[in-house]
Amino acid sequence: MMFTKKDERKGYTRMLEGIERKTLVHGDKTLMAEFRLEKGSRLPEHSHSHEQTGMLLSGSMRFFVGGMNFLAEPGDNWCIPSEEAHSAEALEDSTVLEVFSPCREDYLE
């Protein structure tokens, strides 16, 4: 079991130009992380073995998944299947909350 208080979490890790990640909490099968993306930043197309479920907390983003695109605004949600190629672009400064299953070992601090 893991509980964390907001002030106990470590800082953000820079992933790419304009994109930062903070791992919030994790278990054996899932991991939850917060991402901050600067306006204009792009997450290049990639895929991974993790199912990825998310919610846009603030800002505006465009996702490209499986040949389709999705304009996300605050409160919008998504679930990207494992091994599905996807990319994203921040249209405004944005904050995203995402859960990965299984746990992303590469995101553990």
Residue 98's pLDDT band (cuts 50, 70, 90):
very high
The domain of 49 spans 20-107
Per-residue pLDDT for 47 more than 80? yes
Residue 1 lies in a domain: no
| Number of separate helices (H) and strands (E) present in the chain | 0, 10
Q: What percent of the chain has pLDDT above 70?
A: 95
Q: What percent of the chain has pLDDT above 90?
A: 87
Please provide the average confidence, as pLDDT, over all residues in the chain: 94
Residue 90 lies in a domain: yes
10-22: pLDDT as tens digits: 789 999 999 999 9
Residue 97 lies in a domain: yes
Q: Are 34 and 15 in contact (CB under 8 A)?
A: no
Residue 6's pLDDT band (cuts 50, 70, 90):
confident
Q: For the chain, what is the domain count? A: 1
Q: Are 88 and 94 in contact (CB under 8 A)?
A: no
Alpha-carbon span 94 to 27, nearest angstrom: 26
Q: Residue 26 maps to which CATH number?
A: 2.60.120.10
Per-residue pLDDT for 91 more than 70? yes
For 14, list phi and psi in degrees, rounded to 5.
Answer: -75, 125
- Two tokens at 85? 């190629």
For residue 4, the model assigns a pLDDT of: 78
Q: Are 101 and 35 in contact (CB under 8 A)?
A: no
Residue 7 lies in a domain: no
Of 52, 79, 84, 55, the closest CA to residue 67 belongs to 84
